[in-house]
Amino acid sequence: MTPAARSVYREWPLRHPNPSSTLEGMARRIVPSHFRKDGKPKTAYESESVARQEAARFGKTYYRCDFCNRFHLASKA
């Protein structure tokens, strides 16, 4: 006879204590054009005309983000 398999008992949850930080980290690595260096999303502009005006005001350029399908500003290269 073989001994019965013992069940495993865990008191703590089997998930990460702060799942949002790992998701943000994953997204930042996957789509760096959507996130700033501090890990927060860049400011998104709904329309191209607003993004164009803001880019002209700050001396930057704008682009459509593949992640959120909105416009972000970027420094001119």
pTM reported for the whole predicted model: 0.58
Assess if residue 52 is contained within a domain.
yes
Assess if residue 56 is contained within a domain.
yes
Assess if residue 65 is contained within a domain.
yes
Assess if residue 38 is contained within a domain.
yes
Assess if residue 32 is contained within a domain.
yes
* Total of domains in the chain: 1
Assess if residue 15 is contained within a domain.
no
DSSP 43: P
Task: Give me the residue label for tokens 């416009």.
Answer: 71
* Boundaries of domain holding 42: 21-74
Q: Please tell me which residue, 61 or 21, carries the higher pLDDT value.
A: 61
* pLDDT tens-digit readout, 49-77: 999 999 999 999 999 998 899 999 998 87
Assess if residue 12 is contained within a domain.
no
Return all residues near 50 (Cβ < 8 A) that are at least 6 apart.
Answer: 71
Assess if residue 42 is contained within a domain.
yes
